[in-house]
Amino acid sequence: MRDSCTVTLTIDWSLLRDQKLRLLKACSRQPGLDGLVELIDSIQDQASAQGCAVQWLTDSEESHAND
């Protein structure tokens, strides 16, 4: 069962972007980390919808993360 909640965070979007890239690279060796990437995606999506200046990975960065 999913619970819905509101969490207020102060996020360094640049740092989160870099950490997400490192996490994506680690996912090729540790597939169980995929859920953390999905969590970050959800946080970014919700923050963007609220007008936050989210910093996204480029498609090229995401595709090279698994190299």
What are 9-27's pLDDT values in tens digits? Answer: 999 999 999 999 999 999 9
Q: What confidence score (pLDDT) does residue 1 get?
A: 67
Q: Domain for residue 37, yes or no?
A: yes
Task: Report residues of the chain scoring pLDDT below 70.
Answer: 1
Q: Domain for residue 17, yes or no?
A: yes
* Parent domain of 33: 13-64
pTM: 0.85
Query: Structurally, how many domains does the chain consist of?
Result: 1
Q: Is 51 left (phi over 0), alpha (psi -120 to 50) or beta?
A: left
Q: Domain for residue 8, yes or no?
A: no
* Tokens read off for 42: 């959800």
Q: What confidence score (pLDDT) does residue 21 get?
A: 95
SS3 content of the chain, % helix, strand, coil (to 5): 60, 0, 40
Q: What confidence score (pLDDT) does residue 50 get?
A: 93
Q: Domain for residue 7, yes or no?
A: no
